[in-house]
Structure 1
Amino acid sequence: MEPTRTLMLGLLGCLLLVPRLRGECWGQEAAACAWGWVPFEEGCYGFFPRELSWRRAEAFCQRFGAGTHLASVHGAEEHQAIAAMLASSRPGQGSQDGDGDGDSGVWIGLHRPLRSHRWQWSDGSEVDYGSWHQQPGPRRRVCAALQDTADFLTWNSDACAHRKPFVCKASA
């Protein structure tokens, strides 16, 4: 059923994000993205409802090729486009995949490594935008997730070992 959901996500993404796309959904911009991924500016975004730890989700994204990581977010427009894509797929309505931790949200590529006071994107890009609801103290290794309770428009930090659905971003 996952291929069908991916197709539906791609089609919904085309309908919801057309005003923000630089080209037509079925035109040259869309051709640069893999089937079922949603184009936006210079990247392609894929939502995966499978719940994984942050580290495993990052490894899953990297399997799609060089330049593919958990999504980095560099501005309000990009953030809103990702939130619209996620809202159309309703990831917060699914099961918790049996691990029982009850966490909500969707992993993105932002994390703070152990013994570091600085946040980093998994793709190595500059941290130049944020939409925090809550950040933790400096002693823990934590990762960032888009909060489904806030329509994916705010970020929350959580233990990287928790399992969540995730968004990958590929360079177009």
Structure 2
Amino acid sequence: MNFSIPLVLLLCILATAAEALGTRLTIRESSSGCKAGWKKYQNHCYAFFDQNVNWFQGQMYCNELGGTLVNIENFEENAWIATQFTQNSIWIDATDIGNEGVWRSFSTCQPTLNNWSAGNPNNWRGSQNCATINYGGPGMWDDDNCFKNRPFICESLGNA
């Protein structure tokens, strides 16, 4: 079954996501070149947010901060993220919305690295189209329902 969200519905979800997240953060730059409270790895900055939001809301919130949900590009980055952000089932940038089984970065539209946990991705009940990290073990990925509320990680360039 091919699952896709009508564009109008997606735009509505994205347009209202910021309101659902509540208060805005005041962000200053630190000496690392990242915003205060963000962690630097290679040339990128990362921040964990423990607000439980759906995948679309996480994308919008990260966008408002000048980034995206974390786009994991290699196994070294995946391992670093798993050691820095240890909570289970955290939203990341990967999705197969629109083309079941073809996982891409939402922010770049490029195929994603993947580190699926055993038996995943499984598209359980035909409704799992967004990826999380730290499911079934540190750094392991799971496909999940995009409308579940979960914490998330944002990523931006080091000077953003």
With structure 1 as the length reference, what TM-score do the two structures score?
0.66
1:40 aligns with 2:24: no
Identity %: 21
Give the helix-richer structure, 1 or 2: 1
One-letter amino acid of the counterpart of residue 53, structure 2: L
Is the contact between residue 108 and residue 146 of structure 1 (CA under 8 Å) also seen in structure 2?
yes
Q: Please show how residues 93-104 of structure 1 align to structure 2 within 5 Å.
A: none
Q: In the alignment, which residue of structure 2 is the partner of 1:107?
A: 91
Alignment deviations for residues 73-125 of structure 1 (CA, whole Å, 9 cap, x no partner): 111111111111112xxx34xxxxxxxxxxxx100000111345421212216
Report what 2:105 is aligned to.
121
Partner-residue secondary structure (3-state), 2:76: helix
**What are the equivalent positions in structure 2 for 1:1-172 lying under 5 Å apart?**
30=32, 32-65=33-66, 68-87=67-86, 91-92=87-88, 105-124=89-108, 126-133=110-117, 134-137=120-123, 140=127, 142-151=129-138, 153-172=139-158
Q: TM-score, normalization: structure 2?
A: 0.71
Deviation >6 Å, runs of 4+? none
CA contact (8 A) 1:114 1:141 kept: no
Query: Would you say the 8 A contact 1:107–1:165 is kept in 2?
Result: yes
Match of 1:11 in 2: none
* Preserved CA contact (<8 Å) 1:111 1:141: no
Output the CA distance in 1 between the equivalents of 2:50 and 2:44.
20
**Partner deviation per Cα, 1:136-168 (whole Å, 9 max, x = no partner):** 2496461000135412x1100001000100001
Task: Please tell me whether the aligned partners of residues 52 and 163 of structure 1 are also in contact (alpha carbons under 8 angstroms).
Answer: yes
Write the letter of the residue equivalent to 1:39.
K
The CA RMSD measured in Å over matched residues stands at 2.1
How many pairs align?
126
